[in-house]
Amino acid sequence: MEKKSIDWANLGFGYVQTDKRYVANYKDGAWDAGTLTEDATITMSECAGVLQYAQTIFEGMKAYTTEDGRTVVFRPELNAQRMVDSALRMEMPPFPVERFLDAIEQVVRANYAYVPPYGSGASLYLRPFMFGSGPVIGVKPSTEYQFRVFSTPVGPYFKGGAKPLTIRVSDFDRAAPNGTGHIKAGLNYAMSLHAIVTAHDEGFDENLYLDAGTHTKVEETGGANFLFVTKDGTIVTPKSGSILPSITRRSLMYVAKEYLGLKTEEREVMMDEVSEFAECGLCGTAAVISPVGKIVDHGKEICFPSGMTEMGPITKKLYDTLTGIQLGRLEAPEGWIREIKIK
């Protein structure tokens, strides 16, 4: 199959409609067989659970072309499991892990022409999601659901690629203690929209959210976890029950320890200690590792020694190692790379 003629190197993080998507429906207590469809639209009840009470969850993952021309996805079973966890918290019927993996495979294969070539810096972003499609007017879970996976070729999440970001400490909260911050529910993102729009209006790239309970501890941004590097080269990441357990962050902590021989700590990070770190990065599927150069905390600027022009040296090593694994330049830990055979 020929690749599409797309200016891969200049893609941003946007929606490009691709040829096929996977759809399965849940009704009368069971998921149907599921199928690929060319129809990129959805028709449902005006009273659907997703439309009335935001009963929707999603995942985000990427397919890549490796140096030797294989098409691969990165640790998809972790996305499948996280979606099960999200579904249970939202009173939705989990989509089975094996079926999730099969759906991903079908979508990548059907849209092979849109998987960006090796070296382009782009990837095929996969968006599995599930929503309450049946009518509900009392506040309760829907009895009908749709699971869907579409794909779209993407470039860097942040404009400017690897240029260090400037972020602000937000006065808005992202997630409550004992709320839904640890799952990938659409509602977490709906409530961050005002914060991101106002951050952009004020010239910031993103928000740093503090813990909602005390406003003293670093949580995460709207779409990525934090990694900090201490002056003596230890990788520190915030531990909290109300942040998303990022697959990229979990992978980077492993890479830091096992590939780079660095010390790693997952612990509470006080906002007060952030000015002592040497480097800061945002990590996630979309963000990969995006360096942060400056954090503005109510007018007080925290400027990391790594500066505003390049990634810090340890952030760069983490970035090169992770992308090296994803693109097949470095040997991956057992089970991290799932090849999708294109027939």
| List of residues contacting ligand COI (CB under 6 A) | 60, 223, 284-286
Compute CA 84 distance to the chain's CA centroid, rounded to the nearest angstrom.
16
Judged by CB under 6 A, which stretch of 25-33, 208-216, 223-231, 263-271 contacts ligand PLP? 223-231
Q: Which parts of the chain fold into alpha helices (H)?
A: 49-53, 76-89, 97-110, 186-190, 193-201, 247-258, 313-326
Choosing from 244, 271, 292, 322, the residue that interacts with ligand PLP (CB under 6 A) is 244
220 binding partner (options ligand PLP, ligand COI, none; Cβ < 5 to 8 Å by kind):
ligand PLP
Cα(267)–Cα(237) distance, integer angstroms: 6
Cα(312)–Cα(279) distance, integer angstroms: 6
CA dihedral over 179, 180, 181, 183, signed as positive or negative: positive
Residue with smaller CB distance to ligand COI, 132 or 186: 186
- Residue 332: what are its φ and ψ, rounded to 5°? -90, 150
Active site residue 184: yes
In the bound state, the residue with its beta carbon closest to ligand COI is: 60
Q: Which residue is it, tokens 């096992």?
A: 258
Contact 251, 75 (CB under 8 A): yes
Residue with smaller CB distance to ligand PLP, 217 or 249: 249
247 binding partner (options ligand PLP, ligand COI, none; Cβ < 5 to 8 Å by kind):
ligand PLP
225 binding partner (options ligand COI, ligand PLP, none; Cβ < 5 to 8 Å by kind):
ligand PLP
Among 20, 62, 184, 217, the active-site one is 184
- For residue 221, the minimal CB distance to ligand COI (Å) is 9
205 binding partner (options ligand COI, ligand PLP, none; Cβ < 5 to 8 Å by kind):
none
Question: Interhelix angle for 247-258 vs 313-326, to 10°?
Answer: 110
Residue with smaller CB distance to ligand COI, 60 or 233: 60
Q: Please report whether residue 103 would count as binding ligand PLP according to CB under 6 A.
A: no
Cα(295)–Cα(293) distance, integer angstroms: 7
- For residue 299, the minimal CB distance to ligand COI (Å) is 27
Contact 224, 283 (CB under 8 A): yes
- Contact positions vs ligand PLP (CB under 6 A): 60, 220, 223-225, 244, 246-249, 284-285
Catalytic residues: 184
